[in-house]
Homo-oligomer: A and B are copies of this chain.
């Protein structure tokens, strides 16, 4: 604790980025956020979105989810919580399951690593994709 954390300026871009992220519970990707923010700031650059998301992650204002899947996703809810990912469409949602603090202790006993925390992601099929799948199966049966 020697140097104070550098002050993060709350610019228009950052404010709107944070507002848009806070509006949704879809855990959008940087690209999705770019499109959302563009409606309010048509001249914003994609680089600015990436840069500011990273800055906000570093200062603890938002979370970066880099679990399974190709793209990183962002979350305005900073309290530790778990997620489900649809293996069909890639959509992510929160799972309101108590965070298992004790599991890190158990893991620490089993390894020579200094354990900091854990990432838990559930995989499954979202309601939409379940419906689509059901419709498809029905269609195949009647054909």
Contacts and interface: CB of A to CB of B under 8 A. Distances in A.
A126 interface: yes
A118 B121 CA distance: 6
A19 interface: no
A127 interface: yes
Contact of A107 (B84, B86, B115, B126): B84
Contact count band on A: 35 or more
* Chain copies in complex: 2
Contacts of A116: 87, 123-125
A138 interface: no
A110 B95 contact: yes
A91 to B, nearest CB: 9
Contacts of A106: 97
Contacts of A120: 103, 118-121
Contact of A122 (B84, B117, B125): B117
A119 B125 CA distance: 15
Given A69-B66, A106-B97, A115 B111 contact: no
